Amino acid sequence: MSDAKIKSDDEWRAILNPEQFRVLRLKGTERAGTGEYEHNKATGVYSCAACDTPLYKSNTKFDSGCGWPAFYDAIPGAISRHEDLSLGTVRTEITCTACGGHLGHVFKGEGFKTPTDERHCVNSISLSFAAGDK
């Protein structure tokens, strides 16, 4: 993580709204079907809502029907993967490499017709979106 993007909890609370803090810093999850980007079809770039680091290009987003925005690949180096045993099963958590913010989880081998056979299931509240051909 970049030193410029490492902050204390108090600094993050000053930047993020309470729900963003709960998801990004405390590894929470927004309710399925409630996020603003789940059905977004615009062309652009999705960035970390905490530190504004570009994470996903819209051309990797697909409709998985899971209730959260789904992507099949991230911008190289933008996300980090971590083993997550929090629900008594092994999952792969994904975080912003730059600031450590919790994004969601990645699942493999579900049979989606994507180039990577991965589904990055990302909380909308962990993202910001900028339209355009970036």
Give catalytic residues, as residue numbers. Answer: 121
Q: Which tokens go with 101?
A: 């913010």
First to last CA, the chain: 24
Q: Minimal CA–CA distance to 120: which of 84, 74, 51, 87?
A: 74
> Looking at residue 31, what DSSP letter applies?
P
Whole-number Å distance between alpha carbons of 50 and 98: 10
Whole-number Å distance between alpha carbons of 118 and 62: 11
